[in-house]
């Protein structure tokens, strides 16, 4: 199942599907005529057809007819409806189905498809929209090594990709899936603090955003541990030390780790399904 010789079918043409399609086209992984997407919304189909230049279908069945690598990109609560829709047209030998639906286990995908269906579960995150996603994937019971490689290749155009066991997927959701929101929350606090210190909201946002972006780039490009990078900006008795001591005294790290654990638990709860 090499991706280059396949046709990609996106079931649901929402934000994440758009990120995937843009990544695939921009990186020349597939030509536009080998990408097809379906959506119930006229506006989304129009965007895919006019802006991305790919085939946009009204029905999911058309996607199964045209494509062999399928990516389920609808909301978790719509999964069963779409599986019911495509089950009769799914060919076990021909089709591979990956799902990006948060918290939906491969056994729920398999339950809605013919016996032996090859499935892959993916947890991406929204920075995929700007080509900087972090995604994890795991195999369903029947997915093969080439199947996993095909989905890895597909995702790598807009994200870094890690393979994990399925039992880790809720933790992935808690850490990198919901992760961007934790950073946005931090930026909200930084902006509020900046405004209190006398900056305009725009200045505070610009400084805070760039600080996050630059810090993340330093982490990635130097390969240094966050503790080490933090140590390098913390001079004895200086400003950073004063701030970090305050964070430590208030137990902020424990609160953040508890919040991530809660997100993972919530993913487990939601994954139970209907």
Ligand X SMILES: NC(=O)c1ccc[n+]([C@@H]2O[C@H](COP(=O)([O-])OP(=O)(O)OC[C@H]3O[C@@H](n4cnc5c(N)ncnc54)[C@H](OP(=O)(O)O)[C@@H]3O)[C@@H](O)[C@H]2O)c1
Interaction site with ligand X (CB under 6 A): 11-17, 38-41, 44, 60, 73-76, 78, 81-82, 100-102, 123-126, 177
Minimum CB–partner distance for residue 261 and ligand X (Å): 18
Helices marked H in 138-233:
145-156, 169-172, 179-196, 201-222, 226-232
Minimum CB–partner distance for residue 44 and ligand X (Å): 5
Minimum CB–partner distance for residue 126 and ligand X (Å): 4
Query: Which of 135, 204 has the CB closer to ligand X?
Result: 135
Q: How far is CA 140 from CA 41, 108, 220, in A?
A: 30, 10, 31
| Residue 55 β-bridge partners | 36
Which residue's CB comes closest to ligand X? 14
The owner of tokens 């880790």 is 168
| Residue 9 β-bridge partners | 36, 70
Query: Which of 14, 273 has the CB closer to ligand X?
Result: 14
Query: Which of 187, 195 has the CB closer to ligand X?
Result: 187
Minimum CB–partner distance for residue 105 and ligand X (Å): 13
**Across the beta sheet with 133-139, what order do the strands follow?**
55-57, 35-38, 8-11, 69-72, 96-99, 118-123, 133-139, 159-163
Minimum CB–partner distance for residue 104 and ligand X (Å): 7
The answer to whether residues 125 and 134 touch, using CB atoms and an 8 Å cutoff, is yes
Minimum CB–partner distance for residue 135 and ligand X (Å): 8
Query: Which of 122, 143 has the CB closer to ligand X?
Result: 122
Q: Which of 133, 217, 218, 209 has its CA nearest to residue 176?
A: 133
∠ CA(96), CA(173), CA(114), 5° rounding? 25
Minimum CB–partner distance for residue 102 and ligand X (Å): 3
Query: Which of 108, 204 has the CB closer to ligand X?
Result: 108
Query: Which of 48, 204 has the CB closer to ligand X?
Result: 48
Query: What DSSP string describes 106-155?
Result: HHHHHHTS-TT-EEEEEE--GGGGGT-EEEEEEE-TT--HHHHHHHHHHH
Query: Which of 181, 233 has the CB closer to ligand X?
Result: 181
């Amino acid at each position: 199942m090499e991706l280059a010789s396949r046709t990609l079918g996106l079931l649901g043409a929402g934000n994440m599907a758009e990120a995937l399609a843009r990544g695939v086209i921009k990186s020349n992984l597939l030509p536009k005529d080998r990408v097809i997407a379906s959506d119930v919304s006229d506006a989304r189909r129009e965007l895919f057809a006019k802006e991305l230049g790919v085939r946009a279908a009204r029905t999911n069945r058309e996607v199964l007819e045209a494509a062999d690598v399928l990516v389920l990109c609808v909301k978790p609560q719509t999964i069963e409806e779409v599986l019911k829709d495509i089950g009769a047209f799914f060919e076990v030998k021909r089709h591979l189905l990956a799902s990006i639906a948060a918290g939906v286990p491969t056994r729920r995908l398999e339950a809605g498809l013919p016996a032996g269906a090859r499935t892959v579960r993916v947890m991406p995150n929204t920075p995929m929209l700007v080509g900087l996603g972090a995604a994890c994937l795991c195999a369903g019971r029947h997915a093969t090594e080439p199947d996993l490689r095909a989905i890895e290749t597909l995702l790598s155009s807009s994200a870094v990709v890690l393979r994990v066991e399925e039992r880790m997927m809720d933790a992935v959701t808690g850490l990198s899936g919901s992760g961007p929101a934790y950073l946005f929350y931090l930026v909200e606090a930084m902006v509020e603090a900046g405004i209190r210190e006398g900056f305009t909201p725009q200045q505070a946002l610009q400084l805070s955003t760039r600080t996050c972006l630059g810090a993340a780039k330093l982490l990635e490009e130097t390969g240094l541990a966050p503790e080490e990078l933090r140590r390098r900006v913390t001079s004895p008795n200086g400003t950073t030390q004063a701030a970090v001591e305050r964070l430590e005294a208030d137990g902020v790290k424990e609160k953040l780790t508890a919040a991530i654990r809660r997100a993972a638990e919530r993913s487990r709860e939601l994954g139970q399904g209907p």
